[in-house]
Amino acid sequence: MSLWTPGGEHPVDRGGSDTGGDAGGPQSRPAAGPAPAPLGQELSPEQQAEAEAMAAEMAEVREQLASVPAAVVVANHAMGLYELAAIHLSQQPKPNTAEARLAIDAFAALVDAVKGHLGPDEPVLNDALNQIRLAYVQLTTASPSGTAAEGEGT
């Protein structure tokens, strides 16, 4: 068995006693360390130091993210979909309603899928969803090329 990484394929010994698991069982997560050099290339001391600094920074970011409640992260991603829809609706000279509709539908699906689990952000997300849907309907019915059929699914 091998493991693919951006640095290439690497053989994996799943049966060894140093892996912390039995063959086919869960493996222990490797410690955060420098990124491996591409096969056939060695890193210079500067590149090695940069890779170690990047690995340490990534480990710190992962630790920070793990300390944030998942509901906050999900709400942040949902608002990203809201912003994406708003960007497409504000395109000039003509709104990109097809792309906006996809972002709105994804936003709605996310909010609906986690209903009751978003804590104090849930009412804000529901209001934002209603507002972006209303903006979509207003733009598609007001524009000469927009039709009511474009609003289906939002």
pLDDT tens digits along 26-46? 444 555 556 665 665 788 889
Per-residue pLDDT of 82-116, as tens digits, reads: 999 999 999 999 999 999 999 999 999 999 999 99
Quote the domain boundaries for residue 15: 2-26+41-66
For the chain, what is the domain count? Answer: 2
Under DSSP, the state recorded for 18 is G
103 is a domain residue: yes
Instruction: Answer yes or no: do 98 and 124 share one domain.
Output: yes
User: Is 0.75 topped by the overall pTM?
Assistant: no
76 is a domain residue: yes
Instruction: Answer yes or no: do 88 and 54 share one domain.
Output: no
Cα→Cα distances 31→35, 46, 75, 106, Å: 11, 21, 30, 35
Instruction: Answer yes or no: do 92 and 110 share one domain.
Output: yes
Instruction: Answer yes or no: do 100 and 52 share one domain.
Output: no
36 is a domain residue: no
Residues 6+ apart with CB under 8 A from 85: 100, 103, 104, 107, 132, 136
Q: Is the pLDDT of residue 150 over 50?
A: no
Instruction: Answer yes or no: do 9 and 62 share one domain.
Output: yes
How is residue 111 written in tokens? Answer: 């909010």
Burial of 134 (0-12, 13-18, 19+ CB in 10 A): exposed
